[in-house]
Structure 1
């Protein structure tokens, strides 16, 4: 893959999103719990990143980490689903295959409430870790099958932890995916010349609640709310000056599903809802379809 450091080169396509706005906003919720690596699940090591960095020795079952993750699906999911319902916002849920396979009733409820179920890999791990295309293809197919069995719909989009591999986009294109999001390099979708049928919807790791788990990130909910509001204000001003834009806001069940951090979710949703048709808040599949139709 050749690096493109120019992109649109300052000449933006003249497009509007379906409601007439020039700023689209994608709210993403990660459904990973049960797909993180855990010795207790037969994985070679346990995930170390959580509320604190795990102090359990490598190779030993870490039941504390298991429970930190389980909070996301046992409690956080319902708080966040109700918040989305209350504000009338549809999100894209990035679903790891093993998480869906273990809790299909939860994935089914998410889809029943009108949210998109997208693929997030079989496990919560970088696709770049795969040693072969065949191994990656096998796990991608397992993820697709688990989501389709639970929700009744085949996923149309993909994003994985960290980095995709050199094979990922080809595997997605061959399976008819509409969009991929392992890109952090633009404020607008674009095409990968090697796979022109695949819309690349850039994602963002700064307007993302994972920064609550990083030492240089957010501590209190208000810090994320202020940060996201700044992003909204800047992109809205650019959009209303005629430049189309896409804002991505990412959340995790085990992070902003917690009571003290939930306002970082709820208040951002309230701000988005208050903007009306000045923005277009949509699922990623709808954003990919609209961008493809306009370009």
Structure 2
């Protein structure tokens, strides 16, 4: 994969979002619980990042970390689904295959309520650390099969933790995916090697609650998200509508105090009315497949 530091340069596309919206907003909920690295699940080590850094020695089962993750599905998921219903919005859920295989009824409820089931890898790990293309392909297909079996929906979008591999996009194209989100390099969607790329972002993301230089109070996340909305709405009004990603996690913003940020962001989106199009990533992708021309070269 060739590194592109230019992108659209000074000639960005003038995207036309439905209804004349000045900004497309993608709400993403990460469904990773049960797919984190865990000795309990047969992995060699446990996930280290949680509410606190794990202090359990390598190779031993970490019940505390398991419970921190478990909270996301047990308490966080119902809280998220209820709020989305009340506010009338649809989100994209990045589903890890192993998490779905362990909780199929919960995953099925996600799509029953109209949210998207996207592929987040078999386990919560970077795809860059797969040693071979065949190994990565097997994990991609295993995750997709688990998601489809539980939800009845074949995933058309993909995002893994951290970094994709040099083979990821070609594998996604081979297996009929409509978009890849392993990109952090733009506010605008683009085509790469025939694959539609919907960039994701880690700044407007509740992972910042776990970072020492991030959010502490829920209002800080709301204010940050509103600043992003308003900046991009202004840029859209000047003729270049863009995409804003708001990333959420069941075990992070699923906690009561931090969930106040989710409620605040949903209210803020509603206040901006027709200026924003809040949509599932698969719907954004289908719109762009119709309206964003593929370049003659591999990269715009």
Q: Where does residue 121 of structure 2 map in the other structure?
A: 121
Deviations 1:32-91 (A, max 9, x none): 000001011110000010000011111110000000000000000001111111111100
Question: Match of 2:264?
Answer: 267
Normalising by structure 2, we get a TM-score of 0.96
Structure 1: runs of 5+ lacking an equivalent: none
**Cα displacement (A) at 1:294:** 1.2
Distance 2:278 2:186 in 1: 18
Aligned-pair CA distance for 1:244: 1.4
What does residue range 100-249 of structure 1 map to in structure 2 within 5 Å? 100-192=100-192, 194=193, 196=194, 198-249=195-246
**Offset from partner CA, 1:104-146 (integer Å, 9 cap, x none):** 0011000000000000000000000100111111111110000
Give the corresponding residue for 1:39: 39
> Contact conserved, 1:182 with 1:202, CA < 8 A, in 2?
yes
Alignment partner of 1:84 is 2:81:
no
Contact residue 233 and residue 241 of structure 2 kept, 8 A: no
Give 1:4 shift: 0.9
Q: Which runs of 4+ in 1 moved over 4 A?
A: none
| Contact 2:23–2:236 (Cα < 8 Å) also in 1 | yes
Q: Which residue of 2 aligns with 1:73?
A: 73
Shift of 1:153: 1.1
- Checking the alignment, whether the CA contact within 8 Å between 1:188 and 1:245 is kept in structure 2 is yes
C-alpha distance in structure 1 between counterparts of 2:262 and 2:137, whole Å: 34
**Aligned-pair Cα RMSD in Å:** 0.7
Find the partner of 1:293 among 278, 283, 290: 290
Find the aligned partners of 2:67 and 2:122 in 1 and give their Cα distance. 20
| TM-score, normalised relative to structure 1 | 0.98
Identify the residue that residue 97 of structure 2 maps to in structure 1.
97
Query: 1:172-195 CA distances to partner (integer Å, 9 max, x unpaired)?
Result: 100000000010011110000x2x
User: Alignment partner for residue 251 of structure 2, among 231, 248, 254?
Assistant: 254
Q: Which runs of 5+ in 2 are unaligned?
A: 293-300
Q: Give the superposition deviation at 1:14.
A: 2.2
Contact 1:98 1:146 in 2 (8 A): yes
Cα distance between partner residues in 2 of 1:94 and 1:139:
15
1:119·1:155 contact (CA, 8 Å) conserved in 2?
yes
Report the secondary structure of 2:19's partner residue. Answer: coil
Tell me, in whole angstroms, the C-alpha distance in 2 between the residues paired with 1:15 and 1:149.
35
Counterpart secondary structure, 1:262: helix
What is residue 297 of structure 2 aligned with on the other side? none
Indicate the SS of the match to 2:20.
Answer: coil
SS at match of 2:18: coil
